[in-house]
Amino acid sequence: MKSDEIQSENIVVDEGLDILEQTVRNEYKYGFVTDIEADSAPKGLNEDTIRFISAKKEEPEWMLEWRLKAFRQWLKMQEPHWANLKYPAIDYQDIIYYSAPKQKEKPKSLDEIDPELRKTFEKLGISLDEQKRLTGVAVDAVIDSVSIATTFKEQLAEQGIIFCSMSEAIQNHPELVRQYLSSVVPVTDNYFAALNAAVFSDGSFVYIPKGVRCPMELSTYFRINAENTGQFERTLIVADEGSFVSYLEGCTAPMRDENQLHAAVVELVAMDNAEIKYSTVQNWYPGDKEGNGGIYNFVTKRGICKGNHSKISWTQVETGSAITWKYPSVILKGDHSVGEFYSVAVTNNYQQADTGTKMMHLGKNTRSRIVSKGISAGFSQNSYRGLVHVGKNATGARNFSQCDSLLLGDKCGAHTFPYIEVKNKSGVVEHEATTSKIGEDQIFYCNQRGIDTETAVALIVNGFAKEVMAHLPMEFAVEAQKLLAISLEGSVG
Amino acid sequence: MLSIRNLHANIDGKEILRGINLDIKAGEVHAIMGPNGSGKSTLSAVIAGREDYEVTEGEIEFMGKNLMDFSPEERAGEGIFLSFQYPIEIPGLTTTNFIKTAVNEIRKYRGQEPMDAVQFLKKMKEKMTLVNIDQSLLSRSLNEGFSGGEKKRNEIFQMAMLEPRLAILDETDSGLDIDAIRIVANGVNKLRTKDNAVLLVTHYQRLLDYIIPDFVHVLYKGRIVKSGTKELAYELEEKGYDFIKAEVEQGA
- Per residue in A137-179, pLDDT tens? 566 666 655 555 566 777 788 899 998 888 889 999 999 999 9
Q: For residue A447, what is the nearest residue in chain B, using CA coordinates? A: B73
Tell me how far apart the alpha carbons of residues B204 and B87 are, in angstroms, rounded to a whole number.
20
Segment among A157-166, A283-292, A293-302, B72-81 with least mean pLDDT = A283-292
Chain B CB contacts of A467 below 8 Å: 92
Domain boundaries, chain A: 20-488
Q: With contact defined as beta carbons under 8 Å apart, do A222 and A231 qualify? A: yes
Give the ipTM.
0.96
Q: With contact defined as beta carbons under 8 Å apart, do B184 and B157 qualify? A: no
Is the pLDDT at B192 greater than 50, yes or no?
Answer: yes
**Which site among A444, A453, A461, A462 would you substitute to test the B interface, given the most B Cβ atoms closer than 10 Å to its Cβ?**
A444
Query: Tell me, what's the pLDDT at A262?
Result: 86
A449 with B162: Cβ contact below 8 A: yes
Chain A CB contacts of B125 below 8 Å: 3
Is the pLDDT at A361 greater than 80, yes or no?
Answer: yes
A455 with B105: Cβ contact below 8 A: yes
Is the pLDDT at A251 greater than 50, yes or no?
Answer: yes
Closest partner CB to A441 (pick from B88, B94, B120):
B88
Q: Which of A193, A177, A292, A271 is nearest to A233 (CA)?
A: A193
Q: For residue A454, what is the nearest residue in chain B, using CA coordinates? A: B73
Domains and CATH numbers, chain B: 2-251 (3.40.50.300)
Between residues A491 and B240, the one the model is more confident about: B240
- Per residue in A104-123, pLDDT tens? 455 555 555 566 656 665 65
Q: For residue A4, what is the nearest residue in chain B, using CA coordinates? A: B121
Model confidence at A62, in pLDDT bands (50, 70, 90)? Answer: very high
For residue A85, the 8-state DSSP code is -
Looking at the complex, does the CB of residue B73 fall below 8 Å from at least one CB of chain A?
Answer: yes
Could you write out the DSSP letters of every residue in A273-297?
T-EEEEEEEE------TTS-SEEEE
Closest partner CB to A449 (pick from B49, B76, B117):
B76
Query: Tell me, what's the pLDDT at A1?
Result: 33
Task: Write out residues 81-140 of B within 8 Å (CB-CB) of A.
Answer: 81-82, 84, 87-88, 90-94, 96-102, 104-106, 109, 116-118, 120-121, 124-125, 135, 139
B138 Rama class: left (phi>0) / alpha (psi -120 to 50) / beta:
alpha
B92 with A464: Cβ contact below 8 A: yes
Q: With contact defined as beta carbons under 8 Å apart, do A398 and A364 qualify? A: no
Q: Which of B212, B218, B177 is nearest to B192 (CA)?
A: B212
Tell me how far apart the alpha carbons of residues A343 and A471 are, in angstroms, rounded to a whole number.
10
CB count, 10 Å around CB of A290?
Answer: 9
Average pLDDT over residues B114-129: 92
Q: Which of A411, A343, A418, A425 is nearest to A377 (CA)?
A: A411
- Per residue in A422-448, pLDDT tens? 999 999 999 999 998 888 899 999 999
Query: Tell me, what's the pLDDT at A299?
Result: 94
A392 Rama class: left (phi>0) / alpha (psi -120 to 50) / beta:
alpha
Query: Tell me, what's the pLDDT at A3?
Result: 36
